[in-house]
Amino acid sequence: MLRKLQYISLRKRLFIGIFLCATAVLVVHTIVAYRQFAQAIDVQASEAVSNRLRQAVNFHNLCLRQQMATQVRHYSSHPPIVRATARRDEFQLKRLLLSVAQKEGFRQLAVFAPDGEVVASTGFTQEQLDDLRHSRLLHTAQSTGSASAHLRLGNDVYAVAAAVLHQEGVHTGVLVVASPLSLNWIIRLHQMTRIDVALRVGGKWLFARKPPEQLLRWSQEKFEGVREDYQTKAISPILRISYMVLRDEKGAPLAVMAVWQNDPYIQLMQYSLAHSMLSAMTAALLLAVLIAIVQVHPVINLVRHLTTAAHIIAGGHFAHRVKVSRWAPYDFHLLAESFNLMASQLEEFALRQKQQQNELRSHNELLARLSVTDALTQVGNHRAFQEHLHAQISLSARKKQPLCLMLIDVDHFKQYNDTYGHPQGDMVLREVARLLTENTRTYDFVARYGGEEFAVILPDTDIETATAVAERVRRVIESHPFPNRQVTISIGLASWRAGMDSNTLIQEADEALYEAKRSGRNRVCLARQDKKAA
């Protein structure tokens, strides 16, 4: 019965998983819908501000450039102006230009001869007249009859119109009218259209109604070196700007005309939409989180128990096991049983590995001892003697301490071995090795040099002390009750001197041993250098 309930729980878990997936799809769909609605609102707001810019630009072209072009064409056929231009009457022509300026409200007028020379002007500086003379406007007007454009004359930007003066089909000059793009014009444009317009000329803003500070800060960065002729930007959720670049006849940027719209209704729509969708998403998410917590909590507990158990087992406590509640789902019990089985196998493996490591350590220690121990006498072998002698020479050289070496030979050992047999000979060698070990200091090193020869390294020992040790050892062996007959030894003794290597020290001790055997055996002989020093 309990197993059936556990399996039903798994089915419920599957249902919950499907519910959570559906909730996730709903949330994603809601987010996408919100983004689409928000984008639609943003596009609508951008279109609105773009249309306002088009209205402002159309009014600018209609009321300024086209009006100026119509008026300049009208005055290009005015007889007094045409006749005065034909006569090059600068005084009369300037008087006529002043009259036109007062009547039409123009501030700058000029008449140019066909060769480009200024006949008369009013309101223009010499620098501005030079800029006009070198512009394409005069050549375009002479070719087509009239022309209009935005020009930079000196430090200011102007709307300029030009028309050909002619008398009975004869070209007598070009009349040019200019009106600056100034604050007065922006105020007039705002009053006529009720549109918030700003004009950026020469790094400065001209506006009838001050724009928001946010727009001014943004434009200070964005309008430097602007390249697009027409753009619409969203500066904030409720503030949008649409701007157009005014260029001269060569395509160089002169000014930027911008229109902004600060519409709180857009923010209200976006806030209402976001609030509605956020409420729906919050309700769905809370429900999903609640169900997930109820269902996932047992899983988290099991994972926590498994993680804790894994750390404990990793620390070497392989006897640790995982326990789960008997009311837990069936798959939890399977997972816990699998984990505990793995822990049991690890425990067995660790025990076997520890046992193998102990055996391997014992074997290695035995091999290490055997590699430096003589199998018959259980003292150091020849290899251990060489290594120990090299180490003691290095230590003596570093600490400037004395060092002596004894080479010992069992007298007439071959005869003893042939007479009483090899077992008795081996017994003699073992006993000599034991007596040497017992009658030397603990830090002295006894080794079997080879055959019936032994060596004793005496660190931190001068030649006099070493001689006394050698004599004591010789007397102990001479007086020892060996079976069959008396056994004696011959000893060669040499001391280490600074700069001497191990081979030289062994050679001197070997020569002293040979001298002891040649002198009758059962004695201690010193190396020649040590005799001289004595």
Q: Over the stretch 355-365, which tens digit does the pLDDT of each residue have?
A: 888 887 877 77
Using CA atoms, how far residue 414 sits from 194, 410, 424, 429, in Å, is 135, 9, 11, 12
Catalytic, 452? Answer yes
Query: Count of CB atoms within 10 A of residue 84's CB?
Result: 25
User: Chain centroid to CA 138: how far?
Assistant: 62
Helix (H) or strand (E) holding 499: none
What's the rounded mean pLDDT across residues 277-281? 69
Going by C-beta distance under 8 Å and a sequence separation of 6 or more, which residues neighbour residue 522?
411, 474, 478, 488, 489, 490
Helix (H) or strand (E) holding 380: none
Going by C-beta distance under 8 Å and a sequence separation of 6 or more, which residues neighbour residue 172?
82, 85, 86, 114, 165, 166
Residue pair 475/487 in contact (Cβ under 8 Å)? The answer is no
What's the rounded mean pLDDT across residues 368-395? 90
Q: How confident is the model at residue 455 (pLDDT cuts 50, 70, 90)?
A: very high
Q: What is the pLDDT of residue 2?
A: 40
User: With pLDDT > 90 as the criterion, what percentage of the chain qualifies?
Assistant: 28
Q: Over the stretch 177-235, which tens digit does the pLDDT of each residue have?
A: 887 777 777 777 777 777 777 777 766 777 777 776 666 666 555 555 555 566 676 66
What's the rounded mean pLDDT across residues 329-351? 77
Which one of 47, 117, 359, 452 is the catalytic residue? Answer: 452
Using CA atoms, how far residue 504 sits from 10, 11, 173, 390, in Å, is 88, 91, 125, 12
Q: Over the stretch 5-31, which tens digit does the pLDDT of each residue have?
A: 444 455 556 666 676 777 777 777 777
Q: What is the pLDDT of residue 5?
A: 40
Using CA atoms, how far residue 494 sits from 425, 431, 453, 458, 497, in Å, is 28, 24, 16, 10, 10
What's the rounded mean pLDDT across residues 455-476? 95
d(CA 80, CA 54): 40
Radius of gyration of the chain (CA): 58
Cα–Cα nearest to 166, from 186, 131, 142, 136: 142
Going by C-beta distance under 8 Å and a sequence separation of 6 or more, which residues neighbour residue 99?
none
- The beta strand positions in 470-523, using DSSP E, are 489-495
Q: Over the stretch 103-134, which tens digit does the pLDDT of each residue have?
A: 777 778 888 888 778 888 888 888 877 877 88
Angle between helices 382-399 and 330-372 (to 10 degrees): 80
Indicate if the pLDDT at residue 396 is higher than 90: yes
